[in-house]
Amino acid sequence: MSLINKPLIRVKKSIIQGRGVFAARRIRKGQRVIEYTGEIIDQAEEDRRGYDDSAMSRHHTFLFKIDDEYTIDATHRGSIARYINHSCDPNCEAVWEDSRIFIEAIRNIQPGVELCYDYAFEHEGRLTEEDKALYFCRCGSKKCRGTILKPKRRRKKHRNK
């Protein structure tokens, strides 16, 4: 196999959770890694499929919420982007472009390193203890905030240099 044909990424068992996606070759900062594909469904269809919050916890890597209306459901017809785990200190980010989601590297990533992005799930209303357990983060990074939920909005601090 030539180097050109060698895939950029591959799926294997992750220490974070279940399966994960790993760099098979060196990925440079800013490089587009993969498109997050699946079926684009609206809120009514999502409700019909019965993905409540507890299902989200089991399938959370397979649903990508685009906005209040639409979600990408990668459960059956999705790209392997669905196996990318969450990290509070990620090396990738999800980029929205022309109604499509792409995963792009925000750092240089060496072969063998697991790819992650910040899921930053939005949760409406108060969190119960069950919710907290559901969204508990095990990314293991030093910056881990303990949850895969989006951090509460904070005012940005500006410092004079």
Number of residues that bind Zn ion (CB under 5 A): 4
Convert residues 50-89 into a mask of x (bound to Zn ion by CB under 5 A) and - (unbound). Answer: --------------------------------------x-
139 contacts Zn ion (rule: CB under 5 A): yes
Residue range at the interface with Zn ion (CB under 5 A); choices 17-25, 42-50, 121-129, 130-138: 130-138
Nearer to Zn ion, 78 or 90 (CB): 90
Distances (CA, A) of 51 to 43, 60, 126, 157: 10, 10, 19, 37
15 forms part of the interface with Zn ion (CB under 5 A) = no
| 22-30, 39-47, 124-132, 133-141 -> range binding Zn ion (CB under 5 A) | 133-141
Q: Which of 111, 119, 161 is nearest to 139 (CA)?
A: 119
- Strands (DSSP E) contained in the chain are 9-13, 19-23, 32-36, 39-42, 63-65, 70-73, 85-86, 92-97, 100-105, 114-117
DSSP secondary structure string for all residues of 54-67: HHHHHHGGGEEE-S
Q: What span, in angstroms and rounded, lies between the C-alpha atoms of 95 and 101?
A: 6
- Cβ proximity to Zn ion, 43 vs 141, nearer residue: 141
72 or 137: CB nearest Zn ion: 137
Q: How far is the CB of 137 from Zn ion (least distance, A)?
A: 3
Contact set with Zn ion (CB under 5 A)? 88, 137, 139, 144
